[in-house]
Amino acid sequence: MPMGKNGEPIIVAQPEETQYRCPKCGSATVQKTGPYGPYIDCLQREAKTCDFRAGVPAGVPCPEEPETGQLVEKRTRRGIFYGCWNYPNCSYTTNTLEPGKMTKPRGADERAAANMKLLERSARGKARSQRGGPGHPPPGRRAEPSGDAAARTMRAGDDDTASR
Ligand SMILES: [Zn+2]
Ligand SMILES: [Zn+2]
């Protein structure tokens, strides 16, 4: 970490402590601003005892776990939705935060099944380094394979056989 003259870390924008508690360790969280906008970090990240980081909560708790869950705005090509910041440990999503129109919290069994599936998918996705769930794009785009010409010829061949 870069240090100032007096030994204190250089901070671009002063992190602000938030009203939210870290859902992983219960510690205080701070809002920071990065190149992609504001985000929330657990205060314990600096001590490396917790790795929690999330988008800034929209201000509505997750209906399925209001104690620890906060809904965060997610942007995808198909529009905006809200997901729980405990993803992938919580699979709750809703397209609106309007009271009465939000996705209803599911029963404990249904939730457990959905969350289990999500965790499995997320583990498989990580293993294959494929894309994650909606609103959770992979960390980096896969580079185009080199050997373009060969690949193109092969693809063209595949198309031919497929169309016949
Ligand atoms: Zn934490
Ligand atoms: Zn949740």
pLDDT, one tens digit per residue, over 50-74 is: 999 999 999 999 999 999 999 999 9
Q: How many residues are present in the chain?
A: 164
16 lies in some domain: yes
Query: Are 125 and 61 within one domain?
Result: yes
Ligand 2 centroid to 63 CA: how many Å? 7
| Mean pLDDT for the chain overall | 81
Query: Are 48 and 76 within one domain?
Result: no
Query: Are 84 and 102 within one domain?
Result: yes
pLDDT given for residue 151 in this prediction: 47
143 lies in some domain: no
Ligand 2 centroid to 159 CA: how many Å? 44
Query: Are 62 and 128 within one domain?
Result: yes
153 lies in some domain: no
Q: How does pLDDT run across 98-146, given as a tens digit for each residue? A: 999 999 999 999 999 999 999 999 899 888 864 444 554 455 555 545 5
Contact status, residue 128 vs residue 120, Cβ threshold 8 Å: no
> Burial level of 37, CB count in 10 A (0-12/13-18/19+)?
exposed
Query: Are 48 and 90 within one domain?
Result: no
36 versus 39: the higher-pLDDT residue is 39
Range of the domain at 43: 11-55
CA 127/CA 119 separation, integer angstroms: 12
Query: Are 102 and 36 within one domain?
Result: no
Which residues have a beta carbon within 5 Å of ligand 1, which is an ion? Answer: 22, 24-25, 27, 42, 44, 50, 52
Query: Are 51 and 104 within one domain?
Result: no
68 lies in some domain: yes
CA 119/CA 139 separation, integer angstroms: 17
4 lies in some domain: no
Query: Percent of the chain, pLDDT > 90?
Result: 59
3 lies in some domain: no
Query: Are 105 and 128 within one domain?
Result: yes
> Whose CA is closest to 23, among 45, 47, 42, 49?
42
CA 95/CA 80 separation, integer angstroms: 7
CA 36/CA 62 separation, integer angstroms: 24
CA 82/CA 74 separation, integer angstroms: 6
109 versus 148: the higher-pLDDT residue is 109
Query: Are 118 and 75 within one domain?
Result: yes
Amino acid at 120: E
Q: How many domains are contained in the chain?
A: 2
* C-alpha distances out from residue 78 to 71, 87, 104, 135, Å: 18, 19, 22, 10
47 lies in some domain: yes
145 lies in some domain: no
Query: Are 61 and 51 within one domain?
Result: no
Ligand nearest to the CA of 86: 2
Ligand nearest to the CA of 118: 2
Query: Are 99 and 113 within one domain?
Result: yes
